[in-house]
């Protein structure tokens, strides 16, 4: 049994935030019907290079365990079929600009009226319920990251603000949508009613500020860029060794005493008032790094890691993407897996990051070709027979591969 295998998800989303959410619903068994535009499909089908056998790696990364229905919502016939599927769905997921689907009769109010048990999940840059002056604005990851404050505290202290290297605003919104959908489904078991799940990318970024926000809101201290140092813990940062980089995380005073005694060979630092407490080390961070950083640079990464691990000090190398994906801990957890694609052959991709002991998720089906399941889905969910489907196909309302 897969824990969500009794759910039908009608996924109207595209690009990253919505597909990232629906991928994990699919991993845990939900049947995900991905709606795409005939002829073009999801925008990310064209995001490349790189491509594999004509398929964009970007698209392939977030669209496994789904079925593709290529249906034109600009045509009345397409809209009617989409509404028919929505009446049977447990979840509708979308990430259009607020109001866009309502104008087509596919908004939350319209579909909840047709299907009162529906969970209608929306992801947008600034939410459906807020200041109307901001809701029409397109929410792109780069823009939302900047508005959310995280780039202001990311990057070298004397350098420019820096976005996070991955599309964190999109993916965090997708994860919050996943949480919202699961919470709303649980509520439905008690009330019998569906509801609208409204997720804002900006809300997600602000939520990640956590202790940085608390420093400002509670203590009036504006966080600043510190490179890879930590504003509240020291030494807890990235160090340059003689042949590379590593992270050293001395996360409490007990670890500091061990670090001073066993790594630095200076047990007197464990009781020196200038360094004995974390607060003192944070206050004297520049002084601490002035002598500690050159010390670390004198030896290679492997030497430091061996000594630190033997002493029980949290540490680790800085791996590139290939090294991270090859790491034994990553492989042992099944976070690299394989699946067979109908045209690209064997694909290697990341695995399922949440492990359940009794009903685990899995990567079962490769990302679909555009319109790969159009005929079968419309026959099953809408009663469209072969002759009617041929007419829709000829009219361009639906599409199939090729």
Nearest to 376 by CA among 366, 387, 385, 365: 385
Own/partner contacts of 387-393, CB < 8 Å, gap of 24 or more, are 392/77
Question: Sign of the C-alpha dihedral, residues 244, 249, 255, 256?
Answer: positive
3-state secondary structure of 229: coil
Q: Are 288 and 281 in contact (CB under 8 A)?
A: yes
Nearest to 397 by CA among 45, 33, 67, 76: 76
Q: Which of 27, 42, 72, 170 is catalytic?
A: 170
Distance CA 149, CA 217 (A): 14
List helix spans (H) across 298-348: 301-311, 321-326, 328-332
Question: Sign of the C-alpha dihedral, residues 38, 44, 48, 54?
Answer: negative
DSSP state of 128: S
Distance CA 122, CA 111 (A): 13
Give φ, ψ of 170 to 5 degrees: -65, -50
- The encoded tokens of residue 261 equal 């005694």
Distance CA 181, CA 120 (A): 8
- The encoded tokens of residue 295 equal 């010390």
Q: Is 170 a catalytic residue?
A: yes
Catalytic sites, residue numbers = 170
């Amino acid at each position: 049994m897969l824990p969500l295998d009794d759910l039908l998800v009608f996924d109207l989303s595209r690009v990253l935030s919505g597909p990232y959410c629906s991928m994990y619903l699919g991993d845990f068994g939900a049947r995900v019907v991905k709606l795409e535009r005939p002829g073009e499909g999801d925008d990310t089908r064209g995001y490349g290079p790189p491509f594999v056998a004509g398929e964009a790696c970007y698209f392939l990364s977030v669209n496994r365990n789904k079925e593709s229905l290529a249906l034109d919502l600009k045509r009345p016939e397409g809209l009617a079929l989409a509404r028919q599927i929505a009446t049977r769905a447990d979840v509708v997921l979308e990430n259009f600009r607020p109001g866009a689907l309502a104008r087509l009769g596919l908004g939350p109010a319209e579909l909840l009226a047709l299907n009162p048990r529906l969970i209608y999940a929306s992801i947008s840059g600034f939410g459906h319920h807020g200041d109307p002056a901001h809701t029409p604005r397109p929410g792109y990851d780069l823009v939302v990251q900047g508005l959310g404050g995280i780039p202001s505290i990311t990057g070298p202290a004397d350098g420019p603000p820096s976005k996070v290297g991955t599309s964190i605003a999109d993916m965090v919104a997708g994860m919050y949508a996943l949480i919202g959908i699961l919470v709303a489904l649980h509520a439905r078991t008690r009330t019998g009613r569906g509801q609208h799940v409204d997720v804002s990318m900006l809300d997600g970024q602000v939520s990640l500020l956590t202790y940085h926000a608390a420093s400002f809101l509670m203590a009036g201290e504006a966080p600043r860029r510190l490179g890879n140092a930590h504003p509240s813990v020291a030494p807890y940062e990235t160090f340059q060794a003689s042949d590379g980089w590593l992270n050293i995380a001395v996360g409490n005073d007990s670890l500091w005493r061990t670090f001073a005694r066993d790594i630095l060979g200076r047990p007197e630092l464990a009781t020196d008032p200038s360094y004995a407490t974390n607060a003192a080390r944070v206050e004297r961070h520049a002084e601490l790094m002035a002598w500690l950083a050159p010390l670390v640079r004198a030896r290679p990464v492997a030497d430091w890691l061996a000594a630190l691990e033997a002493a029980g000090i949290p540490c680790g190398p800085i791996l590139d993407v290939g090294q991270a994906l090859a790491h034994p801990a990553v492989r042992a957890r099944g976070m690299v897996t394989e699946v067979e694609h109908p045209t690209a052959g064997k694909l290697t991709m990341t695995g399922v990051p949440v492990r359940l002991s009794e009903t685990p998720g899995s990567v079962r089906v490769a990302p679909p070709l555009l319109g790969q399941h159009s005929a079968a889905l419309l026959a099953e969910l809408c009663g469209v027979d072969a002759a009617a489907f041929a007419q829709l196909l000829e009219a361009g309302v639906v599409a199939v591969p090729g």
